[in-house]
Homo-oligomer: A and B are copies of this chain.
Amino acid sequence: MASLGDLERAVMDLLWAGQEAATANTLRDLLAKSTRAEGGSAGHEGKDLAVTTVLTVLSRLERKGLVERERGTRPHRYQSVSSREEHTAELMHEVLGSAPDREAVLARFIGSVTDTEAETLRKLLGRN
């Protein structure tokens, strides 16, 4: 239900980054960040997009329920509905639920988790 294209993904990343940084997250902010992140690692690199392009994507993300926009303020404020972590965790659940035998999947999943992660999990599941 929620697969994102490269640009959509990139925009979500911008939003998430802005969330953490408690930015206004107005269209202009996003564009600024996007161009500034030019030299970044992976992702949707360079060639600054047209304003409308980003707007279109934001609208689509809104339709998909991933983004919410405040229409009250004039330059609308955009923000992701859930944090990157929540979103990702949800996706994981979605995937997990796509198989009939969830327990079996979990077994495989745990099997290839890093040691650190395993440790984290133990803590999280801590006896109770």
Contact = CB atoms under 8 A, between A and B. Distances in A.
A92 B88 contact: no
A120 interface: yes
Interface stretch (A30-38, A50-58, A73-81, A93-101): A93-101
B86 A108 contact: yes
Interface stretch (A21-29, A59-67, A110-118): A110-118
Nearest to A122: B125
A103 interface: yes
A89 B117 contact: no
A124 B91 CA distance: 22
B98 A88 contact: yes
B98 A125 contact: no
A91 B98 CA distance: 11
Given A109-B92, A112-B93, A99 B125 contact: no
Report which residue of A84, A95, A107 has the largest number of chain B beta carbons within 10 angstroms of its beta carbon: A95
Contacts of A127: 122
A109 B124 CA distance: 10
A101 B85 contact: yes
A58 B108 CA distance: 25
A7 interface: no
